[in-house]
């Protein structure tokens, strides 16, 4: 009696069970994403073609993908793609994987700008994959964005994502550490938007292996207390902002009080508030530069 062929449905069921037994996060979703990637199709295709038989070469390649996922490698790095703000972004271990929480940062920037026709200048500090810069360029017609990162590999990938999403004309990419590319005479910005490293050393050691071992540490590690980059940004951002421009910054869910205290202590901002994410956790700082700042 001939062996029953491996169909899409049979392969998905087997892989999901295998991932469950090995405690892979989101086993069904991981199986679907990897198989859709292998077939160069979307996940809906799998359900519409569940009885499609898999070829021997396809099965061999899929086994390789499954082994990589089993080893802890994120599906986004295996497929090389992640969706953010309903846009496709190429990702690699050179950049953080864009996450839904960061969409709260983007929403805050758009709310502060007020209109899709706003003539605004935005600094995307530590752009990584370019997700924030590209999404803003798609939403605001007259926007001009400078996106910086200390990693040349990240800048190259962000440029690719700008081209992928047809926003390369609105974004100027600069390889630089923090605010080092700007002087007193440099044009000012309406907003500094940033998702800095904010994980403390103690927290870093407790991260899941697929984050700790695969995503770039320089983009996660915020120093002993997680506030090293945040302190510097709060202190230096006003130097590149217009009067009453805004620093809009992502932070850790347990950092609201500490970040508020740093803003108040700086005496560089006339107002600030902490915005919560979809889970009700402190996630984003909105701090408005004082009209007559003290440097």
Q: What is the pLDDT of residues 134-146, one digit of tens each?
A: 999 999 988 999 9
Across the chain, mean pLDDT equals: 94
Residue 292 — very low, low, confident or very high, per pLDDT cuts 50/70/90? Answer: low
pLDDT of 295 above 60? no
User: Beta strands 189-194 and 241-250: pairing type?
Assistant: parallel
294 pLDDT higher than 90 = no
Mean of pLDDT values over 191-201: 97
Superfamily of chain region 92-289: Vaccinia Virus protein VP39 (3.40.50.150)
Contact 95, 219 (CB under 8 A): yes
Q: Tell me the three state secondary structure of residue 168.
A: coil
CATH number of 8-71: 1.10.8.10
pLDDT at residue 57, as a whole number: 96
Report the pLDDT value the prediction gives residue 70, as an integer from 0 to 100. Answer: 94
Q: What is the pLDDT of residue 184?
A: 85
Q: Are 127 and 148 in contact (CB under 8 A)?
A: yes
Q: Does residue 2 register a pLDDT over 60? A: no
* Mean pLDDT, range 58-84, rounded to an integer: 96
CA 282 to chain centre: 17
Averaged over 189-200, what is the pLDDT? 97
pLDDT (average), residues 267-279? 95
Kindly tell me if the per-residue pLDDT of 117 is higher than 80: no
Q: Phi/psi zone of residue 282: left (φ > 0), alpha (ψ -120 to 50 degrees), beta?
A: beta
Domain extent listing, the chain: 8-71, 92-289
Other beta carbons within 10 Å of 222? 23
Report the DSSP beta bridge partners of residue 288: 246, 271
- Quick check: helix, strand or coil at residue 26? coil
């Amino acid at each position: 009696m001939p062996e029953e062929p491996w169909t899409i449905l049979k392969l998905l069921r087997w892989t999901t069970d295998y991932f469950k037994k090995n405690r892979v996060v989101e086993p069904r979703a991981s199986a679907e994403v990897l198989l859709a990637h292998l077939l160069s199709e979307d996940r809906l295709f799998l359900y519409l073609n569940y009885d499609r038989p898999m070829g021997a070469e396809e099965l061999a390649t899929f086994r390789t993908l499954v082994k990589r996922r089993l080893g802890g490698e994120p599906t986004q790095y295996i497929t090389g793609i992640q969706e953010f703000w309903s846009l496709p972004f190429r990702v690699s271990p050179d950049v953080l994987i864009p996450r839904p929480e960061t969409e709260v940062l983007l929403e805050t920037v758009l709310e502060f700008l007020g209109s899709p026709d706003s003539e605004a200048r935005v600094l995307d500090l530590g752009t990584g994959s370019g997700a924030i810069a590209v999404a803003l360029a798609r939403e605001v017609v007259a926007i001009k964005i400078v996106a910086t990162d200390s990693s040349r590999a990240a800048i190259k990938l962000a440029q690719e994502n700008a081209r992928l999403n047809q926003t390369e004309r609105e974004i100027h990419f600069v390889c630089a550490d923090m605010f080092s590319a700007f002087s007193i005479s440099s044009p000012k910005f309406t907003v500094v938007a940033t998702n800095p490293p904010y994980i403390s050393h103690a927290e870093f050691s407790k991260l899941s292996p697929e984050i700790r071992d695969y995503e770039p540490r320089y983009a996660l590690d915020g120093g002993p207390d997680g506030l090293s980059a945040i302190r510097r940004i709060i202190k230096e951002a006003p130097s590149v902002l217009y009067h009453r421009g805004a620093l809009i910054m992502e932070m850790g869910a347990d950092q609201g009080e500490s970040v508020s205290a740093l803003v108040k202590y700086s005496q560089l901002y006339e107002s600030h508030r902490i915005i919560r994410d979809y889970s009700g956790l402190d996630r984003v700082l909105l701090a408005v530069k004082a009209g007559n700042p003290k440097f």
